[in-house]
Structures are given as C-alpha cells and as structure tokens.
Amino acid sequence: MSTVVVGGGLVGSAIAYGLALQGETVTILDEGDVAFRASRGNFGLVWVQGKGDQHVQYASWSLQSARLWPRLAADLQRDAGIDVCLQQPGGYHICLSDDEMQERANKLSRIRENLDQPYDYQIYTASELKRILPEIGPDVVGASHTPYDGHVNPLLLLRALHKAAIVRGAAYRPNRKVLQIKHSGSSFRLETDSGDSFTTDKLVIAAGLSNRELAEQVDIYVPIKANQGQVLIGERCKHFLSAPTTYIRQTNEGTIQMGDSMADMGLDDRTQNEVISTIARRAIRTFPILGTLNLVRAWAALRIMSPDGLPIYQESRACPGAYVFTCHSGVTLAANHAYEISRWVFEGEQPDAARTFSNARFMEHSSS
Amino acid sequence: MTQDLFIRLPDDSQDDTVSFSFNGEPLTAAKGMSVAAALLANGKHVFRHTPVSGAPRAPYCMMGVCFECLLEIDGVQNRQSCMTSVAQGMHVHSQDGGKDLSGQLINSELEENAQ
C-alpha cells in the first residue's frame, strides 16, 4: 500500500517516519518556505504537566508520548545520525502570585484524581524552590514540578524526522502545496501547485492550518484556528537553569528562550512590542539575572488550535483511507505520532487511546 | 594569516591614538576604529571560544550581524566588538564560553520597570 502524507511539519514527518519504519511506501508532500510552519517556531518542550485537567485522556496521551520519547530520540540518532538533544529532567511551572499558585495546585490535584495511573507532582514554596533554582527572584511565590517534562531542539527534531524518513525509504517532495483532493474508487488523486499530481491508496492530512480546508475535501470536519505565540531568544549563557519551565528554558547549548504568549489574531505572524515586553518582564521577575540578557531574535508563530485545545485525530467516514491528524503539541506528541498513529494508518486499527480525540466531540448531530 | 589582510590605509588625519588593553596586554589603536578592527590591526585573531564546542573564533562580518566577534568590554560580556568604538583606557577581554549572567550587574531600571 502507498500513503501520501500532506504536510512535512512535525506531525506529518513523525507519522511518515513511523510508516516508513513499518515498510510502507510513503511520500511526504510539503509546502514551500512560505508556509505558516508552526514546526519552525515552537518552543521545544516535551510537556505533560497541567495538560488534560478538563479531559484526562489528554494527560494520559501526553504521558504516553513523554515515555516513548527516549525511544524516538534513539531511533532518530540511529537513522538520521542526529542528536535532537532530548533532556527530560522534569519541569517547573513558576508562579508569581498566590492565586496562580492555588490555581496550579488545584489543577494538578484534579488531574491526579481523575487519572487511572500514578501522576507525580510536587508543589514547592519559594524557599524550597530557591534551593533548587537559586536564581529565582523575590516575586516568585512557588512552583509546581512534574518529573515527566523535558525539552528538545525542535529544529533539529524536524530535520531529523525528515532525514530519518528518507533514510527509511520515504520520498520528501517540497514546494508542493496540495490544492485539490479527489477520491475515486479506493484511491486519492492530489493536485499540487507545482502542476504535478499524486495518486495514493491512503492519505494522511497533517497540514497544520490548512487542515480545515483540506480535510473538508474528504468530508472531515476539523474546526481549527490559528493561535499566535511569540518567542524571545537570548544570547548563549553559562548554565543557570537545570530544568525547563513553562515559559523560560535554557537549551543544552546555553541559549535562553522565553515565550508562552497566546493571542487569537488570525493569520498574523508578526511580533508586537507589547507582547515582547510582557514576556521579557515576566522572565526578569522570575529570574532577575535575565535583566542583563541581550536578545538576539524574536518571532511569532501560529499554533494550530482546536476549540478545546486537544488534538483531532479522525478517519474519513465518506472516504475510508483518508485521515486527518492535527494538534498544537507536535513536539510532545511526536513519539505517539511516530509509533501509535502511524500504526493506526498502517494496520487500520485505531488505538484505544486515540478514540477520545475524534472530531465527534464537535458534532451536535453526528451523521454516523 | 589573518593579520596580513589588515593593513591600515594611510590617511591625512591627525595621528590620534588611544591606549587600551586586551587580556591585560597594553595595545594602541587609531581613534575611531572599532574594537574588532583595533585588535585585528594588532594581530589578535582569537577573540573568543564558543560556548558549545570551545572552538576559537575571530570576527567574520565586521558589520554587526554574525556575532562572531563577541568580547568582554569594560566588564560587560558578549559585546559585539565590531559595533563598539575603541576608547582610551578600555579593558578588553576575550569571551570564553557563554555569558555568565550571575557575574553581571543587574540593571536596576529594568527591575523597576518589571514591577
């Protein structure tokens, strides 16, 4: 069987790599450099903490991927010869007010209560935290910590997935934005903006913000929209942060990254001074030594956000063999996508853990 | 060799020189030069060692975009020496590894604004 994966970002590449590992004939069709590529702008966290407090299966799904991540890093090292710099020392969410701290504690206890497996977390007071992260400032009230969290170099991850997929026999075809999908009999025909077309038995749509309109062509409803996040990059410094936090991390090479803004502003991926200064202020309140940090870059990128923030994984009922996979955590979930989701496409058997992410949750009157 | 490429062109301006130091060694340069040019003209071509591999580095673009020429200048680390004019009495040190944030003075203005 052949599969065409539409989208060469983190989601599409991870699924394509997983399919190639199982011996599937895979072609990745990617857009050009004009694409709103979330995979080039994200923060690089492998993050579990706090996810799924309204939907506990999302906590399980994130935990599962965090556990599979060392295997993915090892497979990528083997196949691509690239070290994606995975570190999973656990992660902190640092709070600057008592309210925030209380909300955090409630959230994590709710997840622990609802989850059908152990969920370790710890709440630290400022003085306890000071012993672990000595550079925190006087405004820090405390932090939560889970041992599951970590980070990678997301750009190396994207490159490694491409290279590993190709090494395992996948074809990567850039500058081919898919314009039209036609389903006839048991195959799909895709027309691209480069003028060539592709025919395939199975079709995986993992095209980020284009998922909505592409999936519509195979009759799958995907109510996603763009959510903007901005990231600041500081110069490389000697290591002072031993573990990633939700909005500040120090890469293995010493670079300081700050982020975690969220704004609904359509397809606008320009930075704004107010957002940059808000991110910088919070970072300096958290770690005052960042006050002397020079910034070398700032950018905005667009998350692919569903109404409840969870992934949408759906096979077409009208056109069997066509799937859409979309989420805003392409780094955290990369291991699940490479191993679990690719097996679904390869064998046709939906993993139980993925059922909850069907688009049925957005249908008032599901047709089937 | 790198230093052979850098010869100061003769000019008619007054021979205004400044004294500065690099890693404790006293040097002179023509006033108005960048710190990067002043060091290159003195035959210095290891400015820093990278934070990642420790490899030696010299200036590359000389126009503020490549960040290869980083130096500690008057106690402030990671300064772009191609964008900084050399000045009388300047203390310049090679930048070895990443900036040491905890060794830097905290900008109190920034802290105040952050409240």
ipTM score of complex: 0.77
Q: Which has the closest alpha carbon to A29: A135, A165, A225, A148? A: A165
DSSP A314-367: EE-SSSTTEEEEE-S-TTTTHHHIIIIIHHHHHH----HHHHTTSGGGG-SS--
Contact A293 B101 (CB under 8 A): yes
Which chain B residue's Cα is nearest to A241?
Answer: B101
Helix (H) or strand (E) holding A312: strand A312-315
3-state secondary structure of A261: coil
The verdict on A288 touching B (C-beta cutoff 8 Å) is yes
Helix (H) or strand (E) holding A203: strand A202-205
Helix (H) or strand (E) holding A5: strand A2-6
Q: What is the pTM of this model?
A: 0.91
B contacts of A296 (beta carbons < 8 Å):
67
pLDDT for residue B109: 43
HSE on the CB side for A220, CA within 13 Å? 29
Decide if B70 contacts B80 (C-beta within 8 A): yes
Torsion of CA A169, A85, A5, A171, to 10 degrees: -30
Measured CA distances, A362 to A224, A348, B1 (Å): 11, 23, 68
* A295-305, strands of its sheet edge to edge: A248-250, A255-258, A225-236, A295-305
Contact B98 A235 (CB under 8 A): yes
Please give the structure tokens belonging to residue B60. Answer: 């590359």
Task: Identify the sign of the CA torsion A343, A347, A352, A357.
Answer: positive
Which chain B residue's Cα is nearest to A234?
Answer: B99
What is the tens place of the pLDDT at every residue in B62-109? Answer: 999 999 999 999 999 999 999 999 999 999 999 999 999 886 655 444
Strand partners, A3: A26, A202
Contact B52 A285 (CB under 8 A): no
3-state secondary structure of A296: strand
Distance CA(A332)–CA(A330), nearest Å, equals 6
Top residue of A97, A156, A235 to mutate, by most chain B CBs within 10 Å, is: A235
The verdict on A285 touching B (C-beta cutoff 8 Å) is yes
DSSP A30-52: ---TTS--GGGT---EE--TTTT
- Provide the residue-wise pLDDT of chain A in tens; the chain has 368 residues: 899 999 999 999 999 999 999 999 999 999 998 899 999 999 999 999 999 999 999 999 999 999 999 999 999 999 999 999 999 999 999 999 999 999 999 999 999 999 999 999 999 999 999 999 999 999 999 999 999 999 999 999 999 999 999 999 999 999 999 999 999 988 999 999 999 999 999 999 999 999 999 999 999 999 999 999 999 999 999 999 999 999 999 999 999 999 989 999 999 999 999 999 999 999 999 999 999 999 989 999 999 999 999 999 999 999 999 999 999 999 999 999 999 999 999 999 999 999 999 999 998 754 44
Please give the structure tokens belonging to residue A100. Answer: 């925030």
Contact B52 A235 (CB under 8 A): no
3-state secondary structure of B25: strand
pLDDT for residue B107: 47
Q: Indicate the residue of A240, A292, A294 with minimum beta-carbon distance to B106.
A: A292
Helix axes A98-114, A56-80, angle to 10 degrees: 90
The verdict on B21 touching A (C-beta cutoff 8 Å) is no
Please give the structure tokens belonging to residue A290. Answer: 């960042």
Top residue of B65, B101, B113 to mutate, by most chain A CBs within 10 Å, is: B101
Which chain B residue's Cα is nearest to A296?
Answer: B67
